[in-house]
Structure 1
Amino acid sequence: MVQISQRSLPEHIQLAGVHPVLQRVYAARGIAEASQLELSLQGLLPFSLLKGITAAVELLLPVVTQQKRLLVVGDFDVDGASSTALAIRALRLLGAQQLDYLVPNRFDFGYGLSPELVQVALPMKPDLIITVDNGIASHEGIAAAQAAGVPVLVTDHHLPAATLPEAAAIVNPNQPGCEFPSKAACGCTVVFYLMLALRARLAELGQLPQPAPNMAQLLDLVALATVADVVPLDYNNRILVEQGLRRIRAGHASAGILALLQVAGREPSRIIAADFGFAIGPRLNAAGRLDDMSLGIECLLTDNAGRGLQLAQTLDEMNRDRRDIEQGMQAEALQYLSRFEAEDNLPTGLCLFQPDWHQGVIGILASRIKEKVHRPVIAMAADEQGMLKGSARSIPGLHMRDALDEVDKRAPHLMKKFGGHAMAAGLTLHASGLAEFSRLFDDVCRRHLSDAQLQQRIETDGELSPAEFSLELAQLLRWGGPWGQAFPEPLFSGDFRLVQQRIVGERHLKLVLQPKGSDLALDAIWFNIDPAVWPQPQAEWAHCVFQLDVNEFRGRQSVQLLIRNLVAQA
């Protein structure tokens, strides 16, 4: 059962010139004054607040001024791909020419700069290795590289362990002693800030290329990575996302991003933050999940529109394959869980494993199952060495990386390695320890999560009056973001008469709704419903949670409700 409640509001709401409903929405997200809605680049935090950035710039200078050879070591998700592409694009703009990149194939090397990956990197003869969106946990790989005479510059945003790697320099807002206030910066943002600092240093030295490059042209990549990596949209991140969106809407995005929008059926001039997460992100991620993220990076690096479209179409096909694999895995996971639900003894912390599950898709599977059962979930797959690779997703109230650390302290022999964030993490587990690990993980989750926290809650922004179901308000809400993690899309609730119900596209419920006490008829759609439950011809009324959205069809715009939850009433 889902509990629906209204977000708490401060007593006084006053934002001059802002629609009353939007004022209510902003106030519930902590916006207290109009200046917090000013998302200009002048509001960005200065790069000087990042610990280690001066040393990092000095390491990078010879790459530009002496054409030293740099190797970028990335990661196989959207943030890693965007970070890699941004590093190379920025350094090219600043005059560097000896640039290459390497992304570990998740099936052969796993995550980060491992000693095995260093052996692949050394024949490329780099003078410097820079890690992007990884490295803070790569103690052994960094030691191996530096023992071979290659210094390593770490740029990362993941939480560090008790000790830091012995890198030549580290830039990570989450490292001890860093005063950078935006701890929610994604990996690509950290790289972007480093490139801003490098540009400033080159200007001081009088060695900046002319005309001076504008780093803002890279914000489409930063915006994509920020949303796709599901980091909280604090004020600094909202500026970065909004500025990236504005560039894309103006047609100034990279060829690859424009091509990905094209194959996803999105119009660049109308793109919103959610399109990064639902349209572009999954297609890029498909490369890293099923094959090699180099395909996604090449798409983000190309300046040729035709080449970009060709790569985007390949990524789109891979994403279709990924969806087919995921649906099969999800059906198996739900069948396994049904035996617990039948006995009403579902574990608090779930560990799921099948020998034939695809290692690249377990992260999505963990997210899907977490959404269904509202519990921390770890989905696992076997690698070729007989180890289990796990992808973990959490719920509010349980810090996933800390939970894994607690398991590790109680049984240090179980996991080979682990790392991540509060809401998502990864691990490598000895297969023989699966049963013990599952028991310990469930125990840790039970001790940290109350029954109330295991109850799924949906917070809304209240009800709308009949007059507020307007195209004007729908447009204001659409462009009032960017919305995302920790700054959620506006949700409303209310009671409606179910005028019509019908299935479209196999799993979507198309509705006509009538607000209680009104004769207004509104189109609505609920995606990915359970066909065994809906439609319900006997249901006359329902309590709905919805977004007020703009539907565009053949050039005509109209109000449409996007249903997020619907409970039939007698």
Structure 2
Amino acid sequence: MFQWKEKSAQVSKLTGPFPDLIARVLASRGLTQSDLDELLNPKLSDLKDPFVLKGMKEATDRLVTAFKNNEKICIYADFDLDGTSGLAILKYGFEKIGFQHVAYYQPKRLSEGYGFHAEAVEELKNLGISLIVTVDVGITSFKAFEKAKELGVDVILTDHHLPADELPQALCIVNPNQKDCPSGLGYLCGAGVAFYLLRAVKRAFYDDPDLPKNEWDLKEVLEFFCIGTLTDMVPLVGDNRTLVKYGLKSFGQTQKAGLKALLEALRLHDRELTSQDVAIRFAPKLNALSRMESDILPAQIYLETDHRKANQMVDRILENNETRQSLQGDAEAKALKILETWTEPDFVYVSSPYFHRGIIGLIATKLSQQFNRPAFVGSENSEGMIVGSSRTPQGSEISLVEALRSAETVLNRHGGHAAAAGFELHAKNQEAFKGFLKAYFENAKHEKRPIEIDFDTTADLSEISTHVMKWYDFIGPFGVGFQIPLIKFDPVSLLSMKELKGGHYKLSLSDTTHSHKVDALVFSPSEKLVDLLSVGQQYQVLSELQWNYFNGRKTIQLLVKDLKLL
């Protein structure tokens, strides 16, 4: 089980119009009285100047030249929802400004893989493209830039990933994480960098007397910004927080045909959305398209204007997601069966020809959480080649990049981040690969620790009210860098429980006097947690607060993250 730890920021209790429970949550995060106005009332007028980003002036000048020369432009974006969101920001925004020839290209996740590819540059050159703008990709794609230079195609590189010491030979680079960039905007995702490029171009058009003026509002692309920022798990601080807060206000009321159709199908339309609605309920349906390499791209949903076509696409999106869920469920069951005889204490490894390549990252995440150790999952093709994905459990200090590097003599390729990385090897090298991993983890001598859960404060069920919930929503959005408040309720009694479809549980909880009751949801609990549930027992419960929408009613419920018997 998990080890609970209460946050202990040493600050004075905050005062304001909010309830005491909200004051305790804010204080637990180290916020002071002087921080409150910026937190509660962020202003779009306080956003940083886009031209503070290194390379932005050169990028904007080149785009203005492309407009004046009526050139064909292509936006080349990564296939994930960060890249797709940035693509939509630029495609939608450039056309609103007045650009006439804006194409886009995304590599296929499975058949082409991540990156800015030289073959694609050749293809785009043959289509008459003279300027490429990358989104969320390119900072390590040296061969593609060499090909672009050879073919006379200019490339504006926009990205947010950490660069190497050497940079590609792009026309210009806009990346807040490159050396000597003074912007302080390193928390932007790829879509965020694209949004700042669009802001700069719009201003350049406004300042140039020879260019057409257009009064369209940049707020029209904030839905796209929200999706990219919330799904790429970048910190919700600074300008990110401001833009997501404003974007969520308009997202639930969007009139963009594709987004609206999917929101309606998920019963999320015509209400204020939370960051969790976007990241947990909305985005995975779109992510499944590239995972399964569907014939529909997420970008088509972002940009569709015909409501009838949008509804048809959404039907296929939901069917595709059901296929993904089925394949994932079957694969997780197979993986657990295979691992019944696994004896290594420091990591788990499993590979099968029955694992779809598009879902191995999801399986690795599930296994890392369940076993509380790094998980390596592979999908084997008919030629004996294994493409794999790896994940670490929450709170781990282990670097998967270093672990994979220790086995690079038997790997065809590998790369990624400390907590999420990919690899490729031949099936004949599996035993050697596992041996290298075993040696690495033994030598690293990482002490295996229980997973810690930090919670904000302890409260009584009597403190939950619609007034508290309004303030709870108002202090959002929540995400990386400003986590969803986690509250310990102690003690509570379990009045009733019911298993729901999908292995979830609906609980009815009360305080010990039964004077205050609340419904609670336990999402995909472990067997150990289910075994603890017994009507009539008393518990300590760690949970988030949330609204439950059902049959036109809006009620408060707890989302249980963990519980302990008293």
Global fold match (TM > 0.5) = yes
Q: Deviations over 1:100-155 (max 9, x none)?
A: 11111122211111233334333322101221111112112222222222122211
Match of 2:353 in 1: 355
Q: Deviations over 1:422-443 (max 9, x none)?
A: 4433344455544444444455
Match of 2:486 in 1: 491
Output the amino acid matched with 1:300.
Y
Match of 1:257 in 2: 259
Q: Does 1:526 align with 2:529?
A: no
Match of 2:367 in 1: 369
Of stretches 234-243 and 305-314 in structure 1, the one that deviates more from structure 2 is: 305-314
The sequence identity of aligned pairs, in percent, is 28
Match of 1:6 in 2: 6
Match of 2:101 in 1: 98
Of stretches 74-83 and 350-359 in structure 1, the one that deviates more from structure 2 is: 350-359
Maintained 8 Å contact 1:502/1:535: no
Change (3 A) 1:356 1:140: farther
* Aligned-pair CA distance for 1:207: 4.4
List alignment gaps of at least 5 residues for structure 2: none
Maintained 8 Å contact 2:462/2:516: no
* Aligned-pair CA distance for 1:417: 4.3
Of stretches 423-432 and 224-233 in structure 1, the one that deviates more from structure 2 is: 423-432
Output the amino acid matched with 2:316.
T
Output the amino acid matched with 2:2.
V
CA distance in 1, matches of 2:301, 2:12: 48
Q: Does 1:142 align with 2:140?
A: no
Change (3 A) 1:234 1:443: farther
What aligned pairs does 1:346-495 form with structure 2 within 5 A after superposition? 346-348=345-347, 350-382=348-380, 387-395=385-393, 403-404=400-401, 407-408=404-405, 410=406, 412-429=408-425, 431-441=427-437, 443-444=439-440, 450-451=446-447, 454-493=449-488, 494-495=490-491
**Alignment partner of 1:274 out of 276, 282, 294:** 276
What aligned pairs does 1:304-319 form with structure 2 within 5 A after superposition? 304-319=306-321
Maintained 8 Å contact 2:395/2:452: no
Change (3 A) 1:502 1:407: closer
Match of 2:78 in 1: 75
Q: Deviations over 1:459-488 (max 9, x none)?
A: 112221243022221232134210112311
CA distance in 2, matches of 1:259, 1:210: 32
CA distance in 2, matches of 1:387, 1:372: 27
Query: Secondary structure of 1:557's match?
Result: strand
Q: Deviations over 1:169-226 (max 9, x none)?
A: 1111222222232322111001111111111222222245333232221111001111
What aligned pairs does 1:537-548 form with structure 2 within 5 A after superposition? 537=534, 540-548=537-545
**Alignment partner of 2:546 out of 542, 545, 549:** 549
CA-atom RMSD in angstroms:
2.6
Maintained 8 Å contact 1:90/1:195: yes
Change (3 A) 1:368 1:564: same
Change (3 A) 1:478 1:568: same
CA distance in 1, matches of 2:452, 2:395: 13
Maintained 8 Å contact 1:77/1:293: no
List alignment gaps of at least 5 residues for structure 1: none
Number of paired residues? 561
CA distance in 2, matches of 1:81, 1:281: 11
What aligned pairs does 1:145-224 form with structure 2 within 5 A after superposition? 145-224=148-227
**Alignment partner of 1:64 out of 67, 78, 98:** 67
Q: Deviations over 1:308-358 (max 9, x none)?
A: 222222111111111011111111222233333xx5x4324x443223311
CA distance in 1, matches of 2:400, 2:502: 39
CA distance in 2, matches of 1:427, 1:39: 42
Maintained 8 Å contact 1:241/1:482: yes
Change (3 A) 1:210 1:53: closer
Q: Does 1:89 align with 2:92?
A: yes
CA distance in 2, matches of 1:399, 1:207: 55
Q: Deviations over 1:230-260 (max 9, x none)?
A: 22212221112111111224x2452222111
Match of 1:566 in 2: 563
Q: Does 1:17 align with 2:17?
A: yes
Query: Secondary structure of 1:361's match?
Result: helix
* Aligned-pair CA distance for 1:360: 1.0
CA distance in 2, matches of 1:462, 1:504: 29
Output the amino acid matched with 1:114.
H
Change (3 A) 1:316 1:302: same
